[in-house]
Structure 1
Amino acid sequence: ETPRPLWQTVVYFFLMVAILVFANWGKPATNEGIWYTIFSYKWEITGISSLLFGLTLGAWFGVKWWKVLVSIIVVGVLGFLFQHEPMIPFAAGVVALTLITATEKGEMTTWLEQTWSFAKQILPLLLGGVLVAGFLLGRPGHEGIIPSEWVSVAVGGNSVFANFFSSLVGAFMYFATLTEVPILQGLLGSGMGYGPALALLLAGPALSLPNMLVIRSVIGTKKTVIYVSLVVIMATITGLIFGMLYQ
């Protein structure tokens, strides 16, 4: 039996996703349009989402209200004092949430334990991916082991070949969880097009060479070839469409 209605769980996760999305909202290329407007108010939206999130902890998860109110006041004061440094109140909010989950019992403690468990699993892979991507691909303005010209020729622009090549390579490569993010960032910095980048990001997690071998042992060679072909083709088409829309 669930301790709360489904809609409360939906709102709870929606607020967490909103905080994650808007806190990381990047500045668009042009200083106009809806995306720039959202960027201009990203921290206001993040703050409102965080406030509502804190209220849900007190109302639905049994967190003591004095902890919620103290956290809101501290973060609010820091936000007022450091209006041009929004990361300071944001970091204070993260610390406050950590202290709340560490000093509560039940779901809050379980949440913190699971978060720490996943962090220990994911962070080494993420840092390793950043290290490898930086070593091989460099960073904007600085060459890595692989020349950026090679990347630009193979997967630059938004041609059918570039999207197909990205999908095919992604299908055979193995990406550990979250390592595709720094690798993709390095490729983009080396001249990879946005369409091929999405094609790689779609085909990569869906398939890998070890994955294909396991699938083949279960459903046979013919069905495996059809499955792999569909993944590559759909990733290619999606990359083409995204590349045309992004231009």
Structure 2
Amino acid sequence: MKVICAGFSHTGTKSIAEALRILGYSKVHDFLEHSAIDGTYWTRIFDGRGSIDDFREMYKDVDAVADVPASIFWEEILEAFPDSKVILTMRDSEEVWFKSFAAYITHIRRTLFWERYMSIGFFLFRLFMPSYHSYFYNVCTAGYGYLLGNPNNELLLRNYYRRHNRNVLRGCPPRQLLIFNVKEGWEPLCKFLGKDVPENAPFPTKNKKDDSFVVNFFRGQCENDGGMREKMKKELYNRVTIAFSIFVIPIFVIISMTLGLL
């Protein structure tokens, strides 16, 4: 583990993850990789059975991490890998962050029809993909309480953002910390990491409202998902097959026997 991106969600976490890949960090675990690749470890951690050794094992061959849940556990990861550098991505202000975050979540809900069918969608998600439902529920609870269902709860969202940033600023050794706004581009990032500024490569801008990685993921257009989409499809297929076997086949047999077809 070389780089821990401790920035709160929607502070440029997707952009910084892509920037690290461009700079040569080949194994960068972002939001989807945490579940698709590291899900077993995170389940143990969320269940209260985790330890620092889990982080050492989970990230022993990983170059960098970004976004939740890793950003929430940045202190534990730093304890496991004390020589790592920490990047705290921040927006221009707390107000800018809140407006951007709230607008983004609202956009996702409306784009994926969650605004109208959210309760049905979560029920089906829990029924047919229980392991992923449990994981994402734990991630959202750890990162934002229960706020994703109500992105307009301004006071609580601001409080989460403020407390997280203050915790990083107070707890991380200054010599290992870079406070970074993605608007600053390559120069401060490369200087902090001891890397050359990439030639003819503009600093990446990922996960904007009109290019949401969540929407792209469900549409099968996500570049880096760690195999998450295929694993979710497999679990969905298995659950649907089980449901079909339990409910549809017995009903078919009963009807056939009633009609004398069997």
Q: Structure 2 length as normaliser, TM-score?
A: 0.21
CA radius of gyration, larger in: 1
Larger RCO (alpha carbons 8 Å, 6+ apart)? 2
Identify, as 1 or 2, the structure richer in strand. Answer: 2
Identify, as 1 or 2, the structure richer in helix. Answer: 1
